[in-house]
Structures are given as structure tokens and as C-alpha cells.
Chains A and B, each alone.
Chain A
Amino acid sequence: MSGSVVVENLVKIYGDLHAVDDLSFEVGPGEVLGFLGPNGAGKSTTMKMITGFLPPTSGRVSVCGHPVATKPQEAKKCLGYLPEGAPAYSEMTPWQFLNFVADIRRPENRRGRLDWVIGQLGLEPVLHRPVDTLSKGYRRRVGLAQAMLHDPRVLIMDEPTDGLDPNQKRQVRDFINEMAHDKTIIISTHILEEVEAICTRAIIVSEGKILVDEPPGELRCRSRYYNAVTIQAQLKESVRAALGELEDVAVVEPERNQGLTLIPRPGCMLEDAVRDVLLRHNLKEVPLHIQAGRLDDVFHTLTHNVHE
């Protein structure tokens, strides 16, 4: 068994709706898999089936070699799960809640693990306040603490940073990055910057199907903005025309302040040609910005086409 989480031909049908449609992938230790897709694409449903909350209509899932369908207890023992919205028992305090989870998870060195998650996630200030009086950020951290308590080999998080402010998002991401080296992590998100910040691999799903499965860097290359050249300066009409006539330019998009972005034909590099044109017009000093590709553009192109 190569991957810690193996998903084979997973299908979930609600009535007429194919929420998850024949999904297969494997994730191994050290990988952080970002599960991307528009709302309703089947991300949460897939996660619920991996964690054993929902039974699949057909297909198989195994976690650390344990089939979820036939050995749910063993599978659940080696995974930690942060459900969407990080639900917890609202009348309990984080201390009581974590102790309840510890009663069931029974980690070795219970006291040590409790101290560790409380310290790592900075829960001391709110440890004895009921969960429903806590801020969203703290609630999310309580959810993460609960998922991490038994030091699981597989960590599954459904939109771990959704609804958090930028500082809180950063904290959660740093935390995930720290965990990443020896664990198998699957997160779902629709925040694209997050994929770049923490994921080693991205799967884009739409309507229950996998559209793309590759590292975020490669995903970027699919963007039509990959290697596009942006010039943020006022240019004379003649220069604009000369740039637009370059052989490898596919599209010219205007930018604010009369600048422009030149989008290359697939596989072409524009930088040298653009510099030549500028040199000929004595515009040596004009700064060029070479774009690395836009994930949101890739995401939009991929998931939008499905509907058309």
C-alpha cells in the first residue's frame, strides 16, 4: 500500500445528483493535498466519505491500509478530522472538550499531548470559557486541537481557514506547514493563495470529477497569464501598436494608467522581443513584469468550461 489515503472509484449519488463521480487518488506521507473546487463540487462529500461519516454509493476508501467500509474503527483511529465550520459542543469549555476527545482517543502520554496541542494552538487564555463564547478564530483552533490531539498520521481538514481574518489564516497555515513533513494532509479550500502557501499538490474537482491533479506550480503554467508581460507605464500609441504586432503575442489587455499586459501564445516567451521593441523606441528604463500565471484564472477556466 503506497499511499496513506487511497481512494478508488468513489461515487456518491443523492437522488439524481452525482455529488461525487468516480474519484480516484492516492496521498502519501509528506504530501499536503489541496482539494479545490467551486461550492457544491463534492469536496466536503468526499472528505466525509474518507473519514467514514458518509457511506459511499460505490467505490472504496482506505486510510493507513484500513478499509473504511469494513474496519471503520481502525481507520478512524489513525486520522484526525476538522469538519467544516469546526463544530464543537458549545456549552463545554475547550478544556472539557479536549478531555472528552482524549477519553475516546486515549493517546499515549495523554497529559503531554493535551499540553502540547493547547500550547501549539495558544488555547490557554480561553481554556475555561464555554466554546460558544469564543471568537471564530479560537473555535477553529479548538477544532484543530481536537484533530491533532492523538498525533494522527492522516489529517483531514474541511476549509480550515474559512471565515478567519488574515492573521488567523496565517497562524493556521503556519501550523499546517509545521505538521506537514511526516503526515498525510488533505485540506479543502476555495482560497487559491492557500494552495500555494501550503499545498504540495492540488486537485481541482468540479461536479464530482477530478479536472486536474498536479503541483500548484504546474497548475499556474496552465494560466494564459503564464509568462505574460505587464508594462506599467504610459506608452505612446506607436509603441503600443509595435508591441501588439509581435508574432508571439496572442492578446493585448489594457491595464490601469495606460499600461498593458501582453499575453503570449501558448508555449512562447515574450520578454526578449518586448525588450527589443522598447529599446528601439528608446524606452530602456521602462520596467517589465513577467507574470507567473494566475491560479484564479486557471481555476475559472477549468471549472467554468464544465458548465458550458
Chain B
Amino acid sequence: MNNLLAILRRELVGYFQTPVAYVFIMIFLLLSGALSFYLGNFYEREQADLGAFFTFHPWLYLFLVPAISMRLWAEERKTGSIELLITLPVTVFEAVLGKFLAAWIFTGIALLLTFPIWLTVNYLGDPDNGIILGAYFGSFLMAGGFMAIGACISATTRNQVVAFILSLVTCFLFLLSGFPLVLDFFQLWLPQPVVDTIASLSFLTHFSSINKGVIDLRDLSYFVILIAAWLYANMIVVRARKAA
């Protein structure tokens, strides 16, 4: 537990020692604001909710989360510091979880800093804050899902650009797996039950119900299982490829 916290703290402090943290937070805040006001028609909807804000989160995460996750392991492998980390008396589990949690908490901080939009909507009208809280929670969970995918893929390469692009594509497939773009491709050659399974893996379907304020156990467990599965894969990749 101490090891986990030490790794988590080191990573998290690391973000704020480089421009990464500030650039990421600035871009996230600017984009999430601009998208909800211009594309989401925040005012024109004349509704006291944050639907216009949360709708764009999956698309923001699609680009921004891989930008954070790409360095998690690829950089360690490139500089050789992975050799140092693994030969300290820590387990691979502690290293994988510590790094993931640090990155996830970091996106959580960025997400929390969007609070002015919540203040705005409360100033302008009388929204259901329970729904907003649930949507924040759902958005955070979804960010964790993207992050777990990105962390695992980052461990497969020592090149951060490769990690970024592969993560982006994989996240994109997960995001849209419930949509014709992806399903039509599988429909051609896979039996229907498998196609249905793929459809049920979509981030968007699970997120949209949370976004509406319905926190269903199935949606929650979907993200939790997804994160756990990708982190488990991450551990396998680190064990197998740490020196390659």
C-alpha cells in the first residue's frame, strides 16, 4: 500500500513539474467550454442542465486521455527507468495501479476544474444537481476506461507517438462499438450474439444513460470491469515486454 502511494505521488507530482499538466488542463477547459457553448447550444437550449456539456466528454477524452496515457510506460521504457522501478521492491501490480490511478486522478482534477459551468447553470436556472453529480461521476468513470486502455497500450511500445495513435484508435472503436460504423463491419462475418456483445461494449451507450442521470449498476460494473480487464492486460504486458 505504501509502495502504491509512493508511485502514485511520484507520478502525480511529475505532471505538475512539466508543462503537461497546465497545457492539458487549459485545453480541456477551453474545449469543454467552447464545445458546450457553440456546438452544444448551451444557451439556445434554454434548459437548466449540463447535457450540452457532458455530451462532448467522450469526444474530448478520445483525444486528450491518450495524450496523458501515452507516456505512462512508453517513457519509462525509452529512458530505461523501468529497470529502476521494477528492481525496487515493488510488485508489478503496485506499479501498474499506481501509475493508472495517478493519471486518472489527474484527469479528475481537470474535470473538477470545470466547476464554473456548474455554477453558471445554477445561477441561470434551477437544475437537478443530483443528475449533474451523477453525470460528473459517469464522465470520470469513462475517463478511467479510456485511461486504462491507453495505459496498457503505452506499455507495448517505447514510442509515445505510436502509443498515442494506437490508443486513440482503440478508444475510438470502444466508443463507437454500438454504432453502424463498427457493427456493420462485424455483422458481415460474425454471428449475431457476438455482434450484440460488441455492441454492448460501447462507451457511448453506457455513458449516455449515466449522463441522463440514471446510474444503473450495469453501466457502473461495465466501466469497472473494463478498467480492471485493461489493467490486468497492462500487468501482463509489463511483465512480458519490460526489457524489449
Which residues of A are interface residues toward B (Cβ below 8 A)?
A: 48, 51-54, 72-73, 76-77, 79, 81, 83-85, 87-92, 96, 100-101, 103-106, 130, 146
Q: Is the CB of A89 within 8 A of B80?
A: no
Q: Which of B28-36, B88-96, B103-111, B152-160 contacts A (4 or more CB under 8 A)?
A: B88-96
C-alpha spacing A134/B59, complex, angstroms = 40
CB distance from B212 to the nearest CB of A (A): 41
Tell yes or no: B23 within 8 A of A by CB: no
B87 part of interface (Cβ distance < 8 Å): yes
Binds A, one of B10-18, B44-52, B181-189, B196-204: B10-18
Interface residues of B in 93-119 (CB under 8 A from A): none
- Chain B hits for A105, CB < 8 A: 88-89
Known: A73-B91, A103-B9. A89 touches B14 (CB 8 A): yes
Residue B2 lies at the interface, judged by CB distance under 8 Å to chain A? yes
A152 to B86, CA, bound (A): 17
Chain A residues closer than 8 Å to B88, beta-carbon distance: 76, 101, 104-105
Tell me if A106 and B80 are in contact (CB < 8 A): no
Do residues B2 and A103 form an inter-chain contact, with CB atoms below 8 A? yes
Cα A237 to Cα B37 in complex, Å, equals 100
- A-contacting residues of B (Cβ < 8 Å)? 2-3, 5-7, 9-10, 13-14, 17-18, 79-81, 83-84, 86-91, 242-243
**Within the assembled complex, what's the spacing in Å between the Cα atoms of A76 and B94?**
15
Q: Specify which chain B residues have a CB less than 8 angstroms from the CB of A96 in the assembled complex.
A: 10, 13
CB-CB under 8 A from A72, the residues of chain B are 89
Find chain B residues with CB under 8 A from A88 CB: 81, 84
B84–A146 CB distance below 8 A: yes
- Are A87 and B80 closer than 8 Å at their CB atoms? yes
Q: How far is the CA of A87 from the CA of B243 in the complex (A)?
A: 14
Task: Report the minimum CB–CB distance from A95 to chain B (whole Å).
Answer: 12
Q: Kindly list 10 other residue pairs between chains A and B, CB separation below 8 angstroms, not including A92-B10, A105-B89.
A: A53-B243, A81-B84, A83-B84, A85-B80, A88-B81, A88-B84, A89-B79, A90-B79, A101-B88, A104-B89
In whole angstroms, how far apart are the Cα atoms of A124 and B243 in the complex? 33
A91 contacts which of B5, B7, B14 (Cβ < 8 Å)? B14
Q: Complex: how many Å from CA A48 to CA B82?
A: 12
Asked whether, in the complex, the Cβ of A87 is within 8 Å of the Cβ of B79, the reply is: yes
List the B residue with the shortest CB-CB distance to A130.
B17
Which of B13, B87, B91 is the one whose CB lies under 8 Å from A53? Answer: B87
- Expressed in whole angstroms, the Cα–Cα distance for A73 and B90 within the complex equals 7
Bound Cα distance from A125 to B155, whole angstroms: 35
Considering the chains assembled together, what is the distance between the CA atoms of A87 and B235 in angstroms?
22
CA distance A91 to B17 in the complex (A): 7
**A92-B89 in contact given A83-B83, A84-B80, A100-B10 (Cβ < 8 Å):** no
| Least distance between A9 CB and chain B CB atoms (Å) | 21
Across the interface, do A104 and B81 meet the contact criterion of CB distance under 8 Å?
no
A89 contact set on B, CB distance < 8 A:
10, 14, 79, 81
